Amino acid sequence: MAESAEDPFDNWTVQARKGVLELCILNALERQERYGYELVKTLGALPGLGVTEGTIYPLLSRLRAQGLVTTRLEQSVEGPMRKYYALTPTGRASVGPMNGYISDLLSACREIRRRPSSHDHLDPLR
């Protein structure tokens, strides 16, 4: 049997990661503003996220376009100007409901895996 050109799991993980990464960025900015590379290092250190500069910066641009984050430039004593990102009032108001939603989704996934199927009584191996 020939394998399809696209692995369904790979496609699914790309889609799932995109939304989760956006939420992780907003969560990282909830307590304090951060410059871009600091976000890359912070999120890149978390297992499973697989974050790179090429992943974070486009997401930051999208969050800015959506009005969830704002930016400012500041001279760094260590080198070039740094772009700092901070939550806007809209971003700050969105973080709680977004975290609640992802928590509910994960709970639903766990719950459906725990529930017995309505057809379990028909399966002689169960």
Per-residue confidence (pLDDT) for residue 13, from 0 to 100: 83
pLDDT band at 51 (very low <50, low <70, confident <90, very high): confident
User: How many angstroms separate the Cα of 45 from the Cα of each of 18, 41, 42, 50, 66?
Assistant: 17, 6, 6, 9, 26
pLDDT in tens, 78-101: 889 999 999 999 999 999 999 999
123, pLDDT greater than 70: no
| Torsion angle in degrees (nearest 10) through CA of 37, 66, 18, 3 | -130
- What is the fold of 13-115? Arc Repressor Mutant, subunit A (1.10.10)
Closest CA to 101 of 124, 109, 5: 109
Per-residue confidence (pLDDT) for residue 4, from 0 to 100: 52
Per-residue confidence (pLDDT) for residue 125, from 0 to 100: 54
The tokens describing 109, both together, are 């996934």
54, pLDDT greater than 80: yes
